[in-house]
Amino acid sequence: MNLIIKNGTLITDSEQFKADIFIQDGRIKQVGLDMAVPSDTEIVDADGLLVMPGGVDVHTHLELPMFNTVSSDDHYTGHKAAAFGGTTTVMDFISQDDPDLIRCVDLWHKKADSKAAVDYSFHINITQFSSKILLQIPELVDEGITSVKMFTAYNNRLRLEDGEIFQVMRVCREAGILPMVHAENGDVIEVLVAEALATGNTGPVWHARTRPAWGAVESVLRAIALAVQADSPLYVVHMNTAGGVEQLKLARGKGYPVFGETCPPYLFFSEDDLAKEDGAKWICSPPMRSKADNDGVWQGLIDGTLQTIGTDHCPFFYDGTRGIQYEGKTVKIPGKELGKDNFTKIPNGLPGIGDRMPVMWTQGVGTGRLTPQQFVALNCTNPAKLFGIYPQKGCLLPGTDADIVLWDSEKEVEYGVKLAHHRTDYNLYEGWKLKGMPVQVFLRGKMIVDHGRWLGRRGMGKFLKRKVFHPYGFG
């Protein structure tokens, strides 16, 4: 099939210019003006619109079991919501539910492959440790998985000890795998949670108060120190403190290949939101911090200390006792009401996969904090580069997949749960006035969203076998 997108303004991570894009067999064939194309070429008129690469979200948790329930979006519903928000590539985390890493990978494929509606890949959590697991980590490269995640929190569940993290990092360095770390201080958290419960402090706000910001700052520095000693790169997920961003900036200034991600809620919300009557809606880990931390994380995006914006999309119903309608069927999944009397039993996670690009355009580009080029870099190009799918994804170059978003920078909406398309009953940005929205979304040259209509389907997404880590000049 031949397709040409004409009259649009292209935005990349470094440029903005008028050009047409000729697409053949799902790939970009040519970019330019006044191109000669076959007579049977379908024309899409992008006059007045911006044309950018499809978004790449490298941090999601779809169909994830937690606290006697499961995150409410699976690899179809979550991918569909991603597409409505302009994202065409999604990376999910495999839980290490089996000591055999390859069996874990196979189980996640069984979950995802028949449902995937956009292109996708996986990371894997390393939450058990043994010499056998260390030997198996390099085998992940043959599976197309070139990133692993470790935790400095969730004692006796997910956490590895520092020496174990160090050993994993050394193996990753040799294999070309990018280590990722969830950085909080698990020991301090355990003490403070026990004290809070013992004194009857069980409301949602105590989720934040028992996970202090200094624990995250210290753990970011510790993760960086372990990576430097292992001569390994490092990617710190969902950074949410000004102090953590300062530690990353210091390390990057010394030339160490360490990278950072944040998520939109850490730019807009604070512990005060957890103190509201419906504060459970904001419970995730790590938690919301302070206004000063919001500002510090913003600055990390503006000055390039942080390389990517992910979502950590892990949605749960706010009230899982009541069903919602999704594609003509009633869906009811237990949610945050499970912890109505105890914050430690509230499922940790937020919806966000469809919100990321519309919210960040309004609040980033629309306010002048970010340029359109930074927006594309943070949401599309940088994540593709860091996670081994560039230039196949994240750019508008000849020979690459035609994952393309037509963006109407003048389109104004009142945002919320209905526009987000997540399979859950609330949205953090309910009632926000947004200006700038995707209107047409293409996956490998096929239109999957057209002015609010869903044209995609289950199983059309392709698994991406990723290349080994390459810093691409980031450091």
Region of 349 (left: φ > 0; alpha: ψ -120 to 50; beta: rest) is left
Name all domains of the chain by residue range, CATH numbers in brackets: 2-52+400-454 (2.30.40.10), 54-383 (3.20.20.140)
pLDDT at position 50 is 98
Q: Which of 92, 60, 72 is nearest to 335 (CA)?
A: 72
pTM for the predicted model, two decimal places:
0.98
What distance in Å separates the CA atoms of residue 324 and residue 424, rounded to the nearest whole number? 7
What distance in Å separates the CA atoms of residue 347 and residue 66, rounded to the nearest whole number? 6
Q: Per-residue confidence of the chain (475 residues) as pLDDT tens digits?
A: 899 999 999 999 999 999 999 999 999 999 999 999 999 999 999 999 999 999 999 999 999 999 999 999 999 999 999 999 999 999 999 999 999 999 999 999 999 999 999 999 999 999 999 999 999 999 999 999 999 999 999 999 999 999 999 999 999 999 999 999 999 999 999 999 999 999 999 999 999 999 999 999 999 999 999 999 999 999 999 999 999 999 999 999 999 999 999 999 999 999 999 999 999 999 999 999 999 999 999 999 999 999 999 999 999 999 999 999 999 999 999 999 999 999 999 999 999 999 999 999 999 999 999 999 999 999 999 999 999 999 999 999 999 999 999 999 999 999 999 999 999 999 999 999 999 999 999 999 999 999 999 999 999 999 999 999 998 887 5
The b-or-e profile of 68-77 (16+ CB within 10 A means b, else e) is: ebbbbbbbbb
CB atoms within 10 A of CB 146: 23
- Let me know: does 6 contact 44? Beta carbons within 8 Å: yes
Q: Which of 361, 461, 330, 358 is nearest to 419 (CA)?
A: 358
What distance in Å separates the CA atoms of residue 255 and residue 233, rounded to the nearest whole number? 11
Beta bridge mates, 150? 181
For tokens 């189980």, what's the residue?
107
CB atoms within 10 A of CB 431: 8
| Pairing status of strand 69-70 against strand 42-45 | unpaired
CB atoms within 10 A of CB 474: 15
CB atoms within 10 A of CB 317: 26
pLDDT at position 1 is 80
CA distances to 133, 209, 344 from 91, rounded to whole Å, are: 22, 30, 27
pLDDT at position 424 is 98
Contacts of 24 (CB under 8 A, 6+ apart): 1, 2, 3, 445
pLDDT at position 475 is 53
Handedness of CA 438, 443, 445, 448 (dihedral sign): negative
CA distances to 150, 180, 313, 378 from 234, rounded to whole Å, are: 11, 6, 21, 17
pLDDT at position 168 is 98
